[in-house]
Amino acid sequence: MPIRILIVDDHPVLHEGLAAMLESEADFAVVGGAADAESGIDAFRKLRPDVTLMDLKMPGMGGLKGVRALREEFPGAKVVVLTTFRGDANAREAIGAGAAGYLLKTTLRSELVACIRKVHAGGRYLCADVSADIATYLGSEPLTERELLILAMIAEGLENKRIGTKLDISSETVKSHLTRIFEKLGAHNRTQAVHIALRRGMLGDFAD
């Protein structure tokens, strides 16, 4: 029996190209598709695919919450995240949500095929670039929810006083949080901190 695949991605051209590529494999069958996580979960209920390919950034709840919701309803669901976002934080969150695989959309066809087969067989798969990112920051202290929120506000261009007003804290407390953020990220200023956080995929939920 072929490996039955569901594709959840909001980019029609990529979706169609991916489906055509996978269908060329003798042991693959693309059984359906969806343009957002909510529709993807509905499709999963009806089709019960063997492997689901899920994009991260989509309208609605988004791929990360979609993976979590799908796995909560169907603990045996095998999900591979296929995304343009390389950051270690994105990958760790996806794996924590229940994804069995994490691949970049720039990955070679042969690697995608190998990933789907491995995940279908019960294994896990991380592309080399993402594995390297995770290894680089392994053991580093994560930012707290408050620190992530403050960093997201900085990314929006808000000054300390405005951030303090929004969070009902003093400017000095904001400065204290910033000091800890810089220490954790290895940053020297606000701009660098935002750049590092975006590269590592830390601000995804706050940017949606």
DSSP state letters, 56-102: SS-STTHHHHHHHHHHHH-TT--EEEEES---HHHHHHHHHHT-SEE
- Is-contact 107 129, C-beta < 8 A? no
Kindly state whether residues 40 and 123 are assigned to the same domain: yes
What is the rounded distance in angstroms from the CA atom of residue 99 to the CA atom of residue 93? 9
Q: What is the pTM of this model?
A: 0.77
Structure-block tokens of residue 161: 């006083």
Kindly state whether residues 40 and 97 are assigned to the same domain: yes
The pLDDT of residue 89? 85
The residue out of 136, 154, 186 marking a domain boundary is 136
The pLDDT of residue 208? 37
Kindly state whether residues 119 and 149 are assigned to the same domain: no
Kindly state whether residues 152 and 116 are assigned to the same domain: no
Tens digits of pLDDT across the chain (208 residues): 899 999 999 988 888 899 999 999 999 999 999 999 999 999 999 999 999 999 988 888 888 899 999 999 999 999 999 988 878 888 888 999 999 999 998 888 889 999 999 999 999 999 888 888 888 887 788 889 899 999 999 999 999 999 999 999 999 999 999 999 999 998 999 999 998 888 888 876 544 3
Which 8-state DSSP code applies to residue 2? P
The pLDDT of residue 204? 64
The pLDDT of residue 57? 85
